[in-house]
Structure 1
Amino acid sequence: MKTAIGGLLFLISQTVFSTVRDIKVKHIEVPAYNLISDTLVGMSAPTNGKRNDFVMQLICDLARGDKTQEEVNATLVRNNVDIESIPQSKSISSLLINGKKADQAATCAAYIATSLLVPTDNTALFDKKKSNDGKEEVVLNAARFAEEMKVKMSVAQATANLYAIIASNLDGNSNQSFTDYQENIAKTVYNYAPEYLHLVQTLYINDRAAYTPRALTKSTLVVEDNLSRELQVDPQGFVLKSRGVIWLGEAKILGKEFFVPLNIIIPPEEKKKSKTIKRTLNK
Protein backbone atom coordinates (compact mmCIF):
# COMPACT_ATOMS: atom_id res chain seq x y z
CA MET A 1 0.00 0.00 0.00
CA LYS A 2 2.86 2.38 0.85
CA THR A 3 4.39 1.79 -2.57
CA ALA A 4 1.06 2.35 -4.34
CA ILE A 5 0.37 5.62 -2.56
CA GLY A 6 3.91 6.81 -3.05
CA GLY A 7 3.70 6.03 -6.75
CA LEU A 8 0.38 7.84 -7.07
CA LEU A 9 1.80 10.98 -5.45
CA PHE A 10 4.80 10.82 -7.76
CA LEU A 11 2.50 10.49 -10.77
CA ILE A 12 0.45 13.53 -9.72
CA SER A 13 3.56 15.61 -9.19
CA GLN A 14 4.79 14.72 -12.66
CA THR A 15 1.53 15.38 -14.51
CA VAL A 16 0.23 18.49 -12.75
CA PHE A 17 2.25 21.12 -10.94
CA SER A 18 -0.26 21.97 -8.26
CA THR A 19 -0.62 25.47 -6.85
CA VAL A 20 -3.04 27.10 -4.46
CA ARG A 21 -4.96 28.32 -7.50
CA ASP A 22 -6.06 24.72 -8.05
CA ILE A 23 -7.83 24.63 -4.68
CA LYS A 24 -11.41 25.66 -5.35
CA VAL A 25 -12.36 26.85 -1.86
CA LYS A 26 -9.74 28.99 -0.14
CA HIS A 27 -11.66 30.11 2.91
CA ILE A 28 -13.26 28.61 6.02
CA GLU A 29 -16.16 29.75 8.16
CA VAL A 30 -15.05 30.88 11.62
CA PRO A 31 -17.00 32.15 14.64
CA ALA A 32 -17.11 35.94 14.81
CA TYR A 33 -17.08 35.55 18.61
CA ASN A 34 -13.46 34.37 18.56
CA LEU A 35 -12.33 37.01 16.08
CA ILE A 36 -13.88 39.71 18.25
CA SER A 37 -12.47 38.35 21.51
CA ASP A 38 -8.94 37.98 20.13
CA THR A 39 -9.02 41.52 18.72
CA LEU A 40 -10.28 43.06 21.96
CA VAL A 41 -7.60 41.25 23.95
CA GLY A 42 -4.96 42.55 21.55
CA MET A 43 -6.26 46.10 21.87
CA SER A 44 -6.09 46.06 25.67
CA ALA A 45 -2.75 44.36 26.25
CA PRO A 46 0.83 45.08 25.14
CA THR A 47 2.75 42.70 22.91
CA ASN A 48 3.73 40.45 25.84
CA GLY A 49 0.03 39.77 26.45
CA LYS A 50 0.06 40.88 30.10
CA ARG A 51 -2.55 43.36 31.26
CA ASN A 52 -1.36 46.27 33.39
CA ASP A 53 -4.38 47.01 35.57
CA PHE A 54 -2.80 50.11 37.10
CA VAL A 55 -2.19 51.73 33.72
CA MET A 56 -5.49 50.59 32.22
CA GLN A 57 -7.58 51.88 35.12
CA LEU A 58 -5.96 55.30 34.81
CA ILE A 59 -6.64 55.30 31.07
CA CYS A 60 -10.27 54.47 31.83
CA ASP A 61 -10.40 57.30 34.36
CA LEU A 62 -9.28 59.68 31.63
CA ALA A 63 -11.63 58.19 29.03
CA ARG A 64 -14.67 58.51 31.31
CA GLY A 65 -13.66 61.90 32.65
CA ASP A 66 -13.37 60.55 36.19
CA LYS A 67 -9.91 62.09 36.54
CA THR A 68 -8.22 65.09 34.97
CA GLN A 69 -4.81 64.91 33.34
CA GLU A 70 -3.35 66.70 36.36
CA GLU A 71 -4.84 64.12 38.74
CA VAL A 72 -3.46 61.25 36.67
CA ASN A 73 -0.04 62.90 36.59
CA ALA A 74 -0.12 63.23 40.37
CA THR A 75 -1.05 59.54 40.72
CA LEU A 76 1.85 58.54 38.48
CA VAL A 77 4.29 60.65 40.51
CA ARG A 78 3.03 59.13 43.77
CA ASN A 79 3.71 55.70 42.31
CA ASN A 80 7.26 56.66 41.32
CA VAL A 81 6.54 56.77 37.58
CA ASP A 82 8.80 59.12 35.64
CA ILE A 83 6.32 60.95 33.39
CA GLU A 84 9.10 62.27 31.17
CA SER A 85 10.10 58.70 30.29
CA ILE A 86 6.65 57.82 28.87
CA PRO A 87 6.70 58.00 25.04
CA GLN A 88 4.10 60.08 23.23
CA SER A 89 3.09 57.15 21.01
CA LYS A 90 3.55 53.43 20.26
CA SER A 91 2.85 52.32 23.82
CA ILE A 92 -0.32 51.80 25.80
CA SER A 93 1.29 53.94 28.50
CA SER A 94 1.35 56.81 25.98
CA LEU A 95 -2.40 57.16 26.52
CA LEU A 96 -1.67 58.31 30.06
CA ILE A 97 -0.16 61.55 28.79
CA ASN A 98 -0.95 62.25 25.13
CA GLY A 99 -4.56 63.37 25.57
CA LYS A 100 -5.97 61.27 22.72
CA LYS A 101 -9.52 60.82 23.98
CA ALA A 102 -10.77 58.53 21.21
CA ASP A 103 -7.82 56.19 21.68
CA GLN A 104 -8.29 56.22 25.45
CA ALA A 105 -11.98 55.35 25.08
CA ALA A 106 -11.36 52.50 22.62
CA THR A 107 -8.59 51.00 24.74
CA CYS A 108 -10.67 51.31 27.89
CA ALA A 109 -13.66 49.70 26.16
CA ALA A 110 -11.51 46.76 25.05
CA TYR A 111 -10.07 46.43 28.56
CA ILE A 112 -13.47 46.38 30.25
CA ALA A 113 -15.02 44.08 27.63
CA THR A 114 -12.30 41.47 28.16
CA SER A 115 -12.29 41.69 31.96
CA LEU A 116 -14.56 38.65 32.25
CA LEU A 117 -12.18 36.65 30.05
CA VAL A 118 -9.40 37.06 32.61
CA PRO A 119 -9.15 34.37 35.33
CA THR A 120 -10.99 35.66 38.38
CA ASP A 121 -10.06 35.56 42.05
CA ASN A 122 -13.12 35.65 44.30
CA THR A 123 -11.15 35.57 47.55
CA ALA A 124 -12.03 39.19 48.35
CA LEU A 125 -15.73 38.25 48.46
CA PHE A 126 -15.19 36.20 51.62
CA ASP A 127 -14.42 37.13 55.21
CA LYS A 128 -12.72 35.02 57.83
CA LYS A 129 -14.59 34.83 61.12
CA LYS A 130 -14.36 32.79 64.27
CA SER A 131 -17.32 30.63 65.15
CA ASN A 132 -18.74 30.23 68.64
CA ASP A 133 -16.48 27.26 69.29
CA GLY A 134 -13.39 29.31 68.35
CA LYS A 135 -12.80 27.76 64.94
CA GLU A 136 -12.08 30.00 61.96
CA GLU A 137 -14.58 29.83 59.14
CA VAL A 138 -14.94 31.53 55.76
CA VAL A 139 -18.22 33.34 55.10
CA LEU A 140 -19.52 35.27 52.12
CA ASN A 141 -19.63 39.04 52.54
CA ALA A 142 -23.13 39.71 51.22
CA ALA A 143 -22.67 43.43 50.58
CA ARG A 144 -19.37 42.96 48.79
CA PHE A 145 -20.82 40.11 46.75
CA ALA A 146 -23.84 42.16 45.65
CA GLU A 147 -21.63 45.07 44.59
CA GLU A 148 -19.27 42.85 42.61
CA MET A 149 -22.18 41.14 40.84
CA LYS A 150 -23.62 44.53 39.85
CA VAL A 151 -20.30 45.35 38.21
CA LYS A 152 -19.93 41.99 36.47
CA MET A 153 -23.52 41.85 35.22
CA SER A 154 -23.39 45.43 33.91
CA VAL A 155 -20.16 44.68 32.05
CA ALA A 156 -21.51 41.38 30.69
CA GLN A 157 -24.75 42.96 29.41
CA ALA A 158 -23.01 45.94 27.80
CA THR A 159 -20.40 43.66 26.27
CA ALA A 160 -23.11 41.49 24.70
CA ASN A 161 -24.32 44.64 22.93
CA LEU A 162 -20.76 45.49 21.88
CA TYR A 163 -20.21 42.05 20.36
CA ALA A 164 -23.56 42.26 18.56
CA ILE A 165 -22.73 45.68 17.09
CA ILE A 166 -19.31 44.45 15.93
CA ALA A 167 -20.61 41.16 14.49
CA SER A 168 -23.42 42.91 12.64
CA ASN A 169 -20.97 45.35 11.08
CA LEU A 170 -18.43 42.77 9.90
CA ASP A 171 -18.15 42.99 6.13
CA GLY A 172 -17.78 39.27 5.61
CA ASN A 173 -16.37 38.19 2.29
CA SER A 174 -14.16 35.27 1.37
CA ASN A 175 -11.21 37.52 0.46
CA GLN A 176 -10.67 38.86 3.97
CA SER A 177 -7.80 37.69 6.14
CA PHE A 178 -7.63 37.56 9.92
CA THR A 179 -5.84 40.92 9.89
CA ASP A 180 -8.55 42.45 7.70
CA TYR A 181 -11.21 41.42 10.19
CA GLN A 182 -9.18 42.70 13.13
CA GLU A 183 -8.87 46.10 11.50
CA ASN A 184 -12.62 46.12 10.81
CA ILE A 185 -13.37 45.19 14.42
CA ALA A 186 -10.97 47.80 15.81
CA LYS A 187 -12.65 50.53 13.74
CA THR A 188 -16.07 49.59 15.10
CA VAL A 189 -14.73 49.63 18.65
CA TYR A 190 -13.33 53.14 18.10
CA ASN A 191 -16.69 54.35 16.85
CA TYR A 192 -18.80 52.65 19.52
CA ALA A 193 -16.48 52.98 22.56
CA PRO A 194 -18.04 56.13 24.09
CA GLU A 195 -21.54 54.61 23.85
CA TYR A 196 -20.28 51.35 25.34
CA LEU A 197 -18.64 53.05 28.32
CA HIS A 198 -21.81 55.06 28.91
CA LEU A 199 -23.94 51.91 28.72
CA VAL A 200 -21.81 50.11 31.33
CA GLN A 201 -22.27 53.02 33.73
CA THR A 202 -26.00 53.32 33.03
CA LEU A 203 -26.64 49.62 33.58
CA TYR A 204 -24.65 49.72 36.82
CA ILE A 205 -26.44 52.79 38.19
CA ASN A 206 -29.88 51.40 37.35
CA ASP A 207 -29.23 47.86 38.57
CA ARG A 208 -31.70 46.94 41.33
CA ALA A 209 -31.48 43.17 40.91
CA ALA A 210 -31.13 40.70 43.77
CA TYR A 211 -28.31 38.21 43.18
CA THR A 212 -28.17 34.63 44.42
CA PRO A 213 -24.95 32.60 44.26
CA ARG A 214 -25.49 29.07 42.93
CA ALA A 215 -21.82 28.12 42.97
CA LEU A 216 -18.89 30.15 44.22
CA THR A 217 -15.25 29.19 44.63
CA LYS A 218 -11.98 31.11 44.41
CA SER A 219 -11.87 30.89 40.60
CA THR A 220 -15.46 30.17 39.51
CA LEU A 221 -18.94 31.51 40.06
CA VAL A 222 -22.48 30.87 38.94
CA VAL A 223 -24.94 33.57 39.95
CA GLU A 224 -28.62 34.16 39.19
CA ASP A 225 -30.80 37.21 39.75
CA ASN A 226 -34.51 37.89 40.01
CA LEU A 227 -34.60 39.14 36.40
CA SER A 228 -34.02 35.64 34.97
CA ARG A 229 -30.38 36.34 34.19
CA GLU A 230 -27.50 33.99 34.91
CA LEU A 231 -23.77 34.64 34.78
CA GLN A 232 -21.18 31.87 34.79
CA VAL A 233 -17.49 32.72 35.14
CA ASP A 234 -14.61 30.24 35.22
CA PRO A 235 -10.96 30.08 34.06
CA GLN A 236 -12.13 29.27 30.50
CA GLY A 237 -14.25 32.41 30.16
CA PHE A 238 -17.82 33.42 30.90
CA VAL A 239 -21.40 32.82 29.77
CA LEU A 240 -24.26 35.27 30.18
CA LYS A 241 -27.80 33.90 29.90
CA SER A 242 -31.10 35.73 29.75
CA ARG A 243 -34.21 33.61 30.38
CA GLY A 244 -32.22 30.52 29.50
CA VAL A 245 -30.89 31.92 26.21
CA ILE A 246 -27.13 32.37 25.88
CA TRP A 247 -26.71 36.12 25.51
CA LEU A 248 -22.94 36.00 25.25
CA GLY A 249 -20.48 33.11 25.39
CA GLU A 250 -19.92 29.67 23.88
CA ALA A 251 -19.57 31.36 20.45
CA LYS A 252 -23.06 32.89 20.73
CA ILE A 253 -23.94 36.59 20.59
CA LEU A 254 -27.47 37.53 21.69
CA GLY A 255 -28.51 33.92 21.23
CA LYS A 256 -27.12 33.64 17.71
CA GLU A 257 -23.97 32.17 16.22
CA PHE A 258 -22.28 34.56 13.79
CA PHE A 259 -19.86 32.99 11.29
CA VAL A 260 -17.73 34.81 8.74
CA PRO A 261 -15.59 33.52 5.84
CA LEU A 262 -11.88 33.72 6.56
CA ASN A 263 -9.40 33.55 3.68
CA ILE A 264 -6.64 31.14 4.67
CA ILE A 265 -5.08 30.43 1.27
CA ILE A 266 -3.67 33.43 -0.56
CA PRO A 267 -1.65 33.01 -3.78
CA PRO A 268 1.87 34.42 -3.37
CA GLU A 269 1.35 37.09 -6.02
CA GLU A 270 -1.77 38.32 -4.20
CA LYS A 271 -0.28 38.49 -0.75
CA LYS A 272 -0.19 41.94 0.73
CA LYS A 273 2.58 43.23 2.85
CA SER A 274 2.19 42.18 6.43
CA LYS A 275 -0.05 44.66 8.19
CA THR A 276 -0.18 45.47 11.87
CA ILE A 277 -3.47 46.37 13.47
CA LYS A 278 -3.60 50.04 14.34
CA ARG A 279 -4.23 49.47 18.00
CA THR A 280 -4.71 52.28 20.40
CA LEU A 281 -1.06 52.08 21.40
CA ASN A 282 0.07 52.71 17.82
CA LYS A 283 -2.09 55.75 17.19
Structure 2
Amino acid sequence: MNTATNVLPIPALPIIQSTVLASAPTFAGGRHDGHMNVLCALVRGEKTAEEAANYLKENVIDTSNDKAFSLFVGERRPEQDAACAAYIASTVLIPPNFGEFLEPAANKSEDNKDDKQEFSINQERLNASLTTKLAVALANVDVFALIARILPENLTVEAYRTEIARLFGLLAPVYMERVQAYFHNGLTFNLLQMQNNQFTFTSSNGYVFNYDINGLSLRLGGINWYGSGQLMGQEHYLNVDYFTPKVAELLK
Protein backbone atom coordinates (compact mmCIF):
# COMPACT_ATOMS: atom_id res chain seq x y z
CA MET A 1 0.00 0.00 0.00
CA ASN A 2 1.39 3.39 -1.02
CA THR A 3 1.24 6.15 1.58
CA ALA A 4 1.43 9.80 0.54
CA THR A 5 4.55 10.99 2.32
CA ASN A 6 3.50 14.63 2.28
CA VAL A 7 0.15 13.99 4.05
CA LEU A 8 -0.45 14.04 7.82
CA PRO A 9 -3.72 13.50 9.74
CA ILE A 10 -4.55 16.71 11.63
CA PRO A 11 -7.50 17.20 14.04
CA ALA A 12 -10.24 19.11 12.23
CA LEU A 13 -11.68 20.98 15.22
CA PRO A 14 -8.85 23.48 15.87
CA ILE A 15 -8.65 24.36 12.18
CA ILE A 16 -12.41 24.88 11.94
CA GLN A 17 -12.55 26.81 15.20
CA SER A 18 -9.66 29.14 14.38
CA THR A 19 -11.05 29.78 10.89
CA VAL A 20 -14.47 30.78 12.22
CA LEU A 21 -12.85 32.95 14.88
CA ALA A 22 -10.82 34.73 12.20
CA SER A 23 -13.98 35.23 10.14
CA ALA A 24 -15.66 37.32 12.83
CA PRO A 25 -15.44 41.00 11.83
CA THR A 26 -13.09 43.34 13.65
CA PHE A 27 -13.15 47.12 13.67
CA ALA A 28 -9.87 49.03 13.86
CA GLY A 29 -8.23 45.73 14.73
CA GLY A 30 -10.55 44.70 17.56
CA ARG A 31 -13.93 43.18 18.34
CA HIS A 32 -16.84 45.52 18.95
CA ASP A 33 -19.99 44.00 20.42
CA GLY A 34 -22.05 47.15 19.88
CA HIS A 35 -21.36 47.28 16.15
CA MET A 36 -22.00 43.56 15.73
CA ASN A 37 -25.26 43.71 17.68
CA VAL A 38 -26.51 46.26 15.14
CA LEU A 39 -25.34 44.17 12.19
CA CYS A 40 -26.94 41.00 13.58
CA ALA A 41 -30.17 42.90 14.25
CA LEU A 42 -30.11 43.94 10.58
CA VAL A 43 -29.60 40.29 9.55
CA ARG A 44 -32.45 39.10 11.78
CA GLY A 45 -34.79 41.75 10.42
CA GLU A 46 -34.96 43.59 13.73
CA LYS A 47 -33.43 46.72 12.16
CA THR A 48 -33.93 48.18 8.72
CA ALA A 49 -31.16 49.22 6.35
CA GLU A 50 -32.13 52.82 7.09
CA GLU A 51 -31.71 52.30 10.83
CA ALA A 52 -28.29 50.73 10.27
CA ALA A 53 -27.30 53.71 8.12
CA ASN A 54 -28.49 56.07 10.86
CA TYR A 55 -26.37 54.16 13.39
CA LEU A 56 -23.28 54.78 11.27
CA LYS A 57 -24.21 58.45 10.89
CA GLU A 58 -24.88 58.96 14.61
CA ASN A 59 -21.51 57.41 15.47
CA VAL A 60 -19.69 59.40 12.75
CA ILE A 61 -18.49 56.22 11.01
CA ASP A 62 -17.10 56.45 7.50
CA THR A 63 -17.62 53.10 5.79
CA SER A 64 -14.79 53.82 3.35
CA ASN A 65 -12.22 53.69 6.18
CA ASP A 66 -13.01 50.17 7.36
CA LYS A 67 -14.08 47.29 5.13
CA ALA A 68 -16.11 45.74 7.96
CA PHE A 69 -18.45 48.73 8.05
CA SER A 70 -19.44 48.16 4.41
CA LEU A 71 -21.47 45.22 5.78
CA PHE A 72 -23.85 47.76 7.34
CA VAL A 73 -24.75 49.30 3.99
CA GLY A 74 -27.45 47.97 1.67
CA GLU A 75 -30.02 45.22 1.89
CA ARG A 76 -29.44 41.83 3.49
CA ARG A 77 -26.94 39.68 1.60
CA PRO A 78 -24.97 36.45 2.25
CA GLU A 79 -21.79 38.11 3.49
CA GLN A 80 -23.79 39.85 6.23
CA ASP A 81 -25.22 36.51 7.34
CA ALA A 82 -21.73 34.96 7.34
CA ALA A 83 -20.27 37.82 9.39
CA CYS A 84 -23.06 37.70 11.97
CA ALA A 85 -22.89 33.91 12.26
CA ALA A 86 -19.10 33.97 12.72
CA TYR A 87 -19.42 36.65 15.40
CA ILE A 88 -22.07 34.68 17.28
CA ALA A 89 -20.06 31.45 17.04
CA SER A 90 -16.95 33.22 18.31
CA THR A 91 -18.64 34.47 21.50
CA VAL A 92 -18.12 31.11 23.23
CA LEU A 93 -14.63 30.62 21.80
CA ILE A 94 -13.11 33.59 23.66
CA PRO A 95 -12.94 34.39 27.40
CA PRO A 96 -16.43 35.22 28.73
CA ASN A 97 -17.45 38.77 29.52
CA PHE A 98 -18.66 38.70 33.12
CA GLY A 99 -20.03 42.21 32.65
CA GLU A 100 -23.01 40.56 30.96
CA PHE A 101 -24.42 39.63 34.36
CA LEU A 102 -22.39 41.38 37.05
CA GLU A 103 -23.46 44.70 38.52
CA PRO A 104 -22.08 46.94 41.28
CA ALA A 105 -23.10 45.62 44.70
CA ALA A 106 -25.49 47.80 46.64
CA ASN A 107 -23.65 47.21 49.93
CA LYS A 108 -20.00 46.46 50.56
CA SER A 109 -19.00 43.52 52.71
CA GLU A 110 -17.54 44.14 56.15
CA ASP A 111 -14.20 42.53 55.26
CA ASN A 112 -13.62 44.91 52.32
CA LYS A 113 -10.89 46.88 54.07
CA ASP A 114 -9.43 48.32 50.84
CA ASP A 115 -12.77 49.84 49.80
CA LYS A 116 -12.62 48.02 46.47
CA GLN A 117 -15.59 47.99 44.11
CA GLU A 118 -17.66 44.88 44.72
CA PHE A 119 -20.04 43.21 42.32
CA SER A 120 -23.07 40.98 42.63
CA ILE A 121 -24.71 38.64 40.15
CA ASN A 122 -27.90 39.77 38.48
CA GLN A 123 -29.71 36.41 38.35
CA GLU A 124 -32.03 37.32 35.48
CA ARG A 125 -29.14 38.50 33.30
CA LEU A 126 -27.07 35.47 34.33
CA ASN A 127 -29.79 33.06 33.19
CA ALA A 128 -30.13 34.93 29.89
CA SER A 129 -26.35 34.89 29.37
CA LEU A 130 -25.94 31.20 30.15
CA THR A 131 -28.96 30.22 28.05
CA THR A 132 -27.39 32.07 25.12
CA LYS A 133 -23.92 30.59 25.67
CA LEU A 134 -25.28 27.05 25.74
CA ALA A 135 -27.39 27.61 22.61
CA VAL A 136 -24.39 29.03 20.73
CA ALA A 137 -22.10 26.21 21.85
CA LEU A 138 -24.61 23.57 20.70
CA ALA A 139 -25.07 25.26 17.32
CA ASN A 140 -21.27 25.31 16.97
CA VAL A 141 -21.17 21.57 17.62
CA ASP A 142 -23.77 20.83 14.94
CA VAL A 143 -22.35 22.98 12.17
CA PHE A 144 -18.67 22.32 12.93
CA ALA A 145 -19.34 18.55 12.94
CA LEU A 146 -21.12 18.80 9.59
CA ILE A 147 -18.26 20.81 8.09
CA ALA A 148 -15.68 18.36 9.44
CA ARG A 149 -17.55 15.47 7.80
CA ILE A 150 -17.90 17.01 4.32
CA LEU A 151 -14.47 18.58 3.89
CA PRO A 152 -12.48 17.12 0.97
CA GLU A 153 -9.23 15.19 1.40
CA ASN A 154 -5.58 16.21 0.93
CA LEU A 155 -5.81 20.00 0.94
CA THR A 156 -3.17 22.28 2.44
CA VAL A 157 -3.98 23.94 5.76
CA GLU A 158 -4.62 27.27 4.03
CA ALA A 159 -6.84 25.61 1.43
CA TYR A 160 -8.80 23.99 4.26
CA ARG A 161 -9.24 27.38 5.90
CA THR A 162 -10.58 28.81 2.66
CA GLU A 163 -13.00 25.90 2.23
CA ILE A 164 -14.13 26.04 5.87
CA ALA A 165 -14.85 29.77 5.61
CA ARG A 166 -16.81 29.14 2.39
CA LEU A 167 -18.86 26.31 3.89
CA PHE A 168 -19.56 28.20 7.11
CA GLY A 169 -20.72 31.18 5.05
CA LEU A 170 -23.09 28.96 3.07
CA LEU A 171 -24.43 27.43 6.30
CA ALA A 172 -24.76 30.77 8.12
CA PRO A 173 -28.59 30.94 7.87
CA VAL A 174 -28.85 27.34 9.12
CA TYR A 175 -26.38 28.09 11.91
CA MET A 176 -28.46 31.01 13.17
CA GLU A 177 -31.60 28.87 13.00
CA ARG A 178 -29.85 26.27 15.17
CA VAL A 179 -28.96 28.92 17.77
CA GLN A 180 -32.62 29.91 17.98
CA ALA A 181 -33.72 26.27 18.16
CA TYR A 182 -31.39 25.62 21.10
CA PHE A 183 -32.41 28.77 22.99
CA HIS A 184 -34.71 27.31 25.64
CA ASN A 185 -36.21 29.68 28.20
CA GLY A 186 -36.82 28.04 31.55
CA LEU A 187 -33.54 26.15 31.82
CA THR A 188 -31.85 26.34 35.21
CA PHE A 189 -28.11 26.58 35.73
CA ASN A 190 -25.56 25.94 38.43
CA LEU A 191 -22.58 28.29 38.17
CA LEU A 192 -19.63 26.26 39.47
CA GLN A 193 -16.63 28.47 38.69
CA MET A 194 -16.18 32.08 37.65
CA GLN A 195 -12.72 33.54 37.48
CA ASN A 196 -10.34 34.88 34.84
CA ASN A 197 -9.00 31.50 33.72
CA GLN A 198 -12.05 29.29 34.26
CA PHE A 199 -15.78 29.60 33.75
CA THR A 200 -17.90 26.51 34.39
CA PHE A 201 -21.63 25.88 34.67
CA THR A 202 -24.08 23.00 34.38
CA SER A 203 -27.54 23.13 32.85
CA SER A 204 -30.75 21.38 33.83
CA ASN A 205 -30.75 19.56 30.47
CA GLY A 206 -27.50 17.80 31.32
CA TYR A 207 -24.67 19.82 29.79
CA VAL A 208 -21.40 20.85 31.47
CA PHE A 209 -20.02 24.02 29.86
CA ASN A 210 -16.42 24.92 30.63
CA TYR A 211 -14.10 27.62 29.34
CA ASP A 212 -10.49 27.69 30.54
CA ILE A 213 -6.97 28.19 29.16
CA ASN A 214 -7.61 25.27 26.79
CA GLY A 215 -10.66 26.96 25.33
CA LEU A 216 -14.25 25.73 25.21
CA SER A 217 -15.34 22.27 26.24
CA LEU A 218 -18.89 20.95 26.43
CA ARG A 219 -19.80 17.60 27.94
CA LEU A 220 -23.04 15.61 27.95
CA GLY A 221 -23.40 12.41 29.94
CA GLY A 222 -19.64 12.17 30.31
CA ILE A 223 -19.11 12.48 26.53
CA ASN A 224 -16.98 15.21 24.96
CA TRP A 225 -19.68 16.98 22.96
CA TYR A 226 -17.16 19.69 22.05
CA GLY A 227 -13.47 19.95 22.85
CA SER A 228 -10.31 17.85 23.15
CA GLY A 229 -10.45 17.43 19.38
CA GLN A 230 -13.91 15.86 19.50
CA LEU A 231 -17.37 16.79 18.24
CA MET A 232 -20.37 14.79 19.44
CA GLY A 233 -17.99 12.33 21.06
CA GLN A 234 -16.12 11.60 17.83
CA GLU A 235 -12.68 12.58 16.61
CA HIS A 236 -12.56 14.17 13.17
CA TYR A 237 -9.25 14.23 11.31
CA LEU A 238 -8.26 15.87 8.05
CA ASN A 239 -5.64 14.31 5.79
CA VAL A 240 -3.64 17.46 5.22
CA ASP A 241 -1.17 18.08 2.41
CA TYR A 242 1.32 19.22 5.02
CA PHE A 243 4.75 19.13 3.36
CA THR A 244 6.17 20.41 0.09
CA PRO A 245 6.76 17.98 -2.81
CA LYS A 246 10.45 18.04 -1.83
CA VAL A 247 9.65 15.70 1.10
CA ALA A 248 8.21 13.07 -1.24
CA GLU A 249 11.34 13.30 -3.37
CA LEU A 250 13.64 12.88 -0.38
CA LEU A 251 11.76 9.81 0.84
CA LYS A 252 11.75 7.93 -2.46
TM-score by length of 1: 0.76
One-letter amino acid of the structure 2 residue matched with residue 139 of structure 1: S
Counterpart-to-counterpart distance in 2, 1:171 and 1:69: 38
Residue equivalent to 1:271: none
1:151 paired residue among 113, 119, 132: 132
Matches within 5 A, 1:210-229: 210-218=188-196, 220-229=198-207
Residue equivalent to 1:13: none
One-letter amino acid of the structure 2 residue matched with residue 81 of structure 1: I
Decide which moves more: 151-160 or 242-251: 242-251
C-alpha contact (below 8 Å) 1:120/1:235 kept by paired residues: no
C-alpha contact (below 8 Å) 1:55/1:96 kept by paired residues: no
Q: Say which SS state the counterpart of residue 61 (structure 1) adopts.
A: helix
Matches within 5 A, 1:1-283: 25-46=5-26, 50-83=30-63, 85=64, 91-99=67-75, 101-127=77-103, 128-130=105-107, 138-172=119-153, 174=154, 176-204=155-183, 206-218=184-196, 220-267=198-245
Counterpart-to-counterpart distance in 2, 1:124 and 1:56: 16
One-letter amino acid of the structure 2 residue matched with residue 155 of structure 1: V
C-alpha contact (below 8 Å) 1:177/1:264 kept by paired residues: yes
C-alpha contact (below 8 Å) 1:246/1:255 kept by paired residues: yes
Residue deviations 1:180-237 (CA, integer Å, cap 9, x gap): 2122212211221101111212322x33211011112255311012211110123442
Change (3 A) 1:50 1:126: closer
Q: Say which SS state the counterpart of residue 137 (structure 2) adopts.
A: helix
Counterpart-to-counterpart distance in 1, 2:84 and 2:235: 26
Decide which moves more: 31-40 or 210-219: 210-219
Question: How far does residue 37 in structure 1 lie from its aligned partner after superposition?
Answer: 1.1
Structure 2 alignment gaps of length 5 or more: 247-252
Q: Say which SS state the counterpart of residue 37 (structure 2) adopts.
A: helix
Q: Say which SS state the counterpart of residue 212 (structure 1) adopts.
A: strand
TM-score by length of 2: 0.84
One-letter amino acid of the structure 1 residue matched with residue 130 of structure 2: M
Question: How far does residue 112 in structure 1 lie from its aligned partner after superposition?
Answer: 1.0
C-alpha contact (below 8 Å) 1:209/1:225 kept by paired residues: yes
Counterpart-to-counterpart distance in 2, 1:178 and 1:30: 9
Question: How far does residue 140 in structure 1 lie from its aligned partner after superposition?
Answer: 2.5
Structure showing greater radius of gyration is 1
